[in-house]
Amino acid sequence: MTKQTLQKSVVLAGFIFCVFLTNLCAAQEDRGYKKIQKLEKEAEKVESAQEILARPKVEYNAETYEDPFEGPVIEQDAGAVVSGAQKKPLPALTVQGVVWGGIFPQAIINNKVVKVGDIIEGVRILAIDKEGITIFFEGDQFKLPSPAAGGGTAVKEK
């Protein structure tokens, strides 16, 4: 064989090999496409067999809830004289438990579950942490110790 014939034979063999690989890849793609079609048909059967649940329409009505953007200041009557008036004593608040590690810290005060922003017996809850509960009453801020900290009475903060 001459050098030219050998080169033509190699090129022809390479061409035949490329055609073979192309056909092989096309056959595998065709098998994959058929598998995908089969899975899609099965999924359609499953979707059509599922029940459609009727859910009740939920409406949000915020009229009965307090404004979350309102500050912790309790408004006083404009005509009242504050300087000579005596403030009410802090209501009796018994802290039974504090849950402070989660997203929404909560406490049990006087057998009621409260969270930050709630008002119980005229006292607004400002913060709940492991040391206790920070409250706001009659223009003053107090700290109620948690039961784990030994309980006790409210301490006025400055």
* pLDDT on residue 124: 92
Domain, as residue range, for 125: 95-157
pLDDT value, residue 81? 47
Evaluate whether residue 36 is within a structural domain.
no
Domain contains 73: no
Q: How many domains does the chain have?
A: 1
Which H, E and C letters describe the chain, residue by residue? Answer: CCHHHHHHHHHHHHHHHHHHHHHHHHHHHHHHHHHHHHHHHHHHHHHHHCCCCCCCCCCCCCCCCCCCCCCCCCCCCCCCCCCCCCCCCCCCCCEEEEECCCCCCEEEECCEEEECCCEECCEEEEEEECCEEEEEECCEEEEEECHHHCCCCCEEEC
Residue at 44 is within a domain: no
* pLDDT attached to residue 78: 46
Averages of pLDDT over runs of 10 residues in the chain (158 residues) are 79 80 67 71 63 63 62 50 65 88 87 90 90 90 83 69
Residue 57 in any domain: the answer is: no
Task: Answer whether residue 20 is part of any domain.
Answer: no
**Which pLDDT score, from 0 to 100, does residue 135 have?**
92
Residue 53 lies in a domain: no
Residue 138 lies in a domain: yes
Q: Is residue 89 part of a domain?
A: no
